[in-house]
Amino acid sequence: MAHIHLEDGAFTIFWVLVWTLIAAGLLSIPLYRLGGVRIPTRKLAIAAMCVAVGFAIFQVEVPVLGGVHINLTPLMGILIGPSLGSLAVLVINMFSAAVGHGGWGMIGANTIVNLIEVLIGYYAYRFMRTSLKAGRFSSGFWTTSLALTISAVAVVGIVTASEIQDSEQTRAQTFSNMLVIAAANIVTGVVEGFVTGYIVGFIGKVRPDLLEDAEGVGREAESTTTGAATDV
């Protein structure tokens, strides 16, 4: 999947602030939606598991074209929803920066990239299951592949716009070089699509209740203390 592995100092302070502020603005939406909402203990446990698994698999990097890896962010969106999923990827990026997997200044940019994956993973999967009546495997595969393709394009845009300090490459040259990395990430995204499809299919057989929110069923069972349905 797409992830910006640049260290601190690669972007100027201006661009670090730009991506951080954009990420903060996007994250304010799930924080607002979760405010005052009683989140079921089961969903919190699943979110914690997603953070732990996501952080662990983030660190398993295939040394191809700057490094690619699978982190199952679209699956997180499917399992815990867009709001908790958004906060989960923020925590994962902070933990990853703490161990040197991308600089602290990349947290904002990487969070934007992962938010794209979580949100498309959830809403595209929900659309395919509820509107198109597609199977779980095909829904997981296509939504994950789509999410990771768009996030790979987002990485190209972010790095090209920001430029890399002390690099002699022009924006056009950076763009051309980033397209090669994007292609590798898209191929990896297809692989992750297969993985997600099989995982979703398996969960659907043994614990279909974990997919109820993303599949648009059983939403009245999880409500706030005021009676409003949760959508986390």
Percent of the chain with pLDDT over 70: 90
User: How confident is the model at residue 4, as a pLDDT?
Assistant: 83
pLDDT beyond 90 at 127: yes
Q: Classify the C-alpha dihedral 170-171-172-177 as positive or negative.
A: positive
User: How confident is the model at residue 46, as a pLDDT?
Assistant: 93
* Token code pair at residue 180: 């090669």
pTM for the model: 0.86
* Domains of the chain in sequence order: 13-206 (1.10.1760.20)
Q: CA triplet 226, 230, 232: central angle to 5 degrees?
A: 145
Helix 107-130 × helix 13-34 angle, to 10°: 40
Highest-pLDDT range among 5-14, 59-68, 105-114, 160-169: 105-114
* Token code pair at residue 190: 């297809």
Q: What is the pLDDT of residues 192-209, one digit of tens each?
A: 999 999 999 999 999 999
Helix residue ranges, H only, the chain: 13-34, 41-58, 73-98, 107-130, 136-162, 171-206
Q: What is the pLDDT of residues 148-172, one digit of tens each?
A: 999 999 999 999 999 888 777 888 8
